[in-house]
Amino acid sequence: MASKISSPSIKQLNYFVAVAKHASYRRAAEELGMSQPALTNQIALLESTLNTALFERSRAGTLLSPSGRDLLDAARQVLISMKEFEDIAAAKIDGHQTTYRLGVPPTVGPYLLPHILPDLHDLHINLKLYVREAAHRELQKDLLDGVYDIAIVPLPLAIPQLAMEPLFIEPLKFVVPINHPLAGQKSITPNKLRGEKILTLEKRHHFHLQVQEICERWGADIQRDYEGTSLDTLRQMVVMGMGVAFLPGLYVHSEMHNSEALYVCELRDIQILRKHALVWRNNAPNRVFFRELAVDIRAIINSRLPGVIVSTTR
C-alpha cells in the first residue's frame, strides 16, 4: 500500500511558483518580502513533504527539476483557484468592493492613473487597487498565473485564456530637438522620416515593437545601441541631440509642460496609435464587475483627458 504524503500549504505553493518564475531564490525572496534562508527552508520542507526535489542548482541559476516541471502548472492552478475562492467570498461580503492587484506598463501607469484613480475612488469608495508595473509580455503571463487580478495591457493579446474590455486609443507624438531641421513644423510628411535616427525603449516594451514597425515602413534608422530604459531617459537622449523619437500622447501631456528643448509635431495624413484594454482571466469570478470598471474608466477618460486619448469600446 502506498504511503500517504502530507499536504503542502498554500504559502509553500506560492513560494514554489515564485522561485520557478525568477529561477532565483534571492529574487523570489525579494518579491515575497522574506529572507532568502527562510525561503530556502520552506522549499526544503515542501520537497520533504512531496518526497521529491523541485529544483536543481547550476551555474545558470536555479532550474526546475523534472518533477518540478511536472508539478508547476498544477501549483499555479491551485493558487488561482484559491484566489478565485477568496474573491467570491469577498464579493459576498463587500459587493465587489475589495482589493485587486492591478498591473500596468511603465509607459502607461504613471501618466494615466493619476488622472483616473481619484474619480474611480469616488465611484467605488471601498475599492482598493494594489498597483505594480511590468512589461506587456510579463503582465499577460503573470495575469494568467494569478499574480494580478486585472491589468491595463496594450493590444493585441497573446494569450487566449484572457478576456478584455477596450479602454482607450493613444496617439504617438513625433519629438525632435529644438535645433533640428524639422523643428517648428506643425506636421511633416512621413517620407521625411527616411534616414532619421530614431531612439526608442528597450525591446521588452511593447512600445519598442511599434516604433520598429514605423521605422521599417518609412525607412528610418532605429538606434539599437542607444535604447532608453524609460520614457524620461528617452526624452533626455533627444534633448542631447542623439536622435529623434516617438513618445506616447499621455506622457507628452503629463510630463512635457515646459518643452523649450524639444519640439512636438505630427505626421501628416497618417495616424500612429496604440490601443489599451482592461484585461483579466476568462474565468475570473468578478469578471462582470471588471467590465463595469472598464465602463467607469472610459467615462473618466472622456471627462478628464479629452483631446489626449480617446476612449473606445471596440
Nearest residue to 234 via CA among 256, 217, 265, 260: 256
* Of the listed ranges 6-10, 45-49, 90-94, 212-216, the one predicted with least confidence: 90-94
DSSP 199-213: E-B-TTSHHHHHHHH
pLDDT of residue 4: 54
Q: What is the pLDDT of residues 114-173, one digit of tens each?
A: 999 999 999 988 888 999 999 888 899 888 888 899 999 999 888 888 999 999 999 999
Predicted local confidence at residue 300, as pLDDT = 97
The rounded distance, in Å, linking the Cα atoms of 311 and 314 is 9
Longest dimension (CA), the chain: 83
Instruction: Please tell me the distance from the alpha carbon of residue 207 to that of residue 203, in angstroms, as a whole number.
Output: 8
pLDDT of residue 1: 45
More confident residue, 203 or 163: 163
Among all chains, which residue has been given the C-alpha cell 498591473? 103
Domain boundaries defined on the chain: 10-76, 169-273
What the block records as the C-alpha cell of 67 is 518533477
Q: How confident is the model at residue 91 (pLDDT cuts 50, 70, 90)?
A: low
pLDDT value at position 258?
A: 64
- 36 band by pLDDT with thresholds 50, 70 and 90: very high
pLDDT higher than threshold 80 for residue 6: no
Q: Is the pLDDT of residue 3 over 60?
A: no
pLDDT of residue 93: 60
Instruction: Encode pLDDT of 233-275 as tens digits.
Output: 989 999 888 999 999 999 999 888 766 688 998 888 777 889 9
Q: What confidence tens digit (pLDDT) does each residue in 49-59 have? A: 999 999 988 77
Band (pLDDT 50/70/90 cuts) for residue 301 is very high
Rounded to 5 degrees, what angle do the CA atoms 56, 57, 62 make? 85
> What is the C-alpha to C-alpha distance for residues 65 and 52, in angstroms, rounded to an integer?
9
Task: Determine the pLDDT at residue 97.
Answer: 53
Encode pLDDT of 94-125 as tens digits: 555 578 899 999 999 999 999 999 999 999 88
* Residues ≥6 apart with Cβ < 8 Å to 50: 5, 8, 67, 71
Mean of the pLDDT values across residues 221-232? 84
For 218, the 3-state DSSP assignment is helix
β-bridge partners, 265: 174
Of the pLDDT bands very low, low, confident and very high (cuts 50, 70, 90), residue 5 is: low
Question: What mean pLDDT value characterizes the chain?
Answer: 87
Rg, the chain, Cα only: 23
Here the cell at position 90 is 469577498
Is the separation of the CB atoms in 135 and 205 below 8 Å? Answer: yes
pTM for the structure as a whole: 0.72
Instruction: Report helix, strand or coil for 276.
Output: strand
128-133 and 162-177 as β-strands: parallel, antiparallel, unpaired?
unpaired
The matching CATH number, chosen from 3.40.190.10, 3.50.30.40, 3.60.20.10, 3.30.2130.30, for 169-273 is: 3.40.190.10
- Domain 10-76 -> CATH class: mainly alpha
Task: Enter the C-alpha cell of residue 129.
Answer: 487597487
